[in-house]
Amino acid sequence: VVAPCMNNFMIAQRFDDAQQDGSALDDTIDYVLTLRMRPVKVKLRLLARPGSDLRYVLVHRQT
8 Å CB contact between 61 and 40? yes
Instruction: Tell the CATH topology of 4-61.
Output: Beta-Lactamase (3.30.450)
**Is pLDDT at 1 greater than 80 in this prediction?**
no
- Among 61, 58, 52, residue whose Cα is nearest residue 2: 58
Encode 1-63 in three state secondary structure.
Answer: CCCHHHCCCCCHHHHHHHHHHCCCEEEEEEEEECCCCCCEEEEEEEEECCCCCCEEEEEEECC
- Can you give the residue ranges of every domain in the chain? 4-61
Q: What is the pLDDT of residue 12?
A: 93
Q: What is the pLDDT of residue 27?
A: 97
pLDDT digits (tens, 9 = 90+) for 3-57: 888 889 999 999 999 999 999 999 999 999 987 879 999 999 999 999 999 999 9
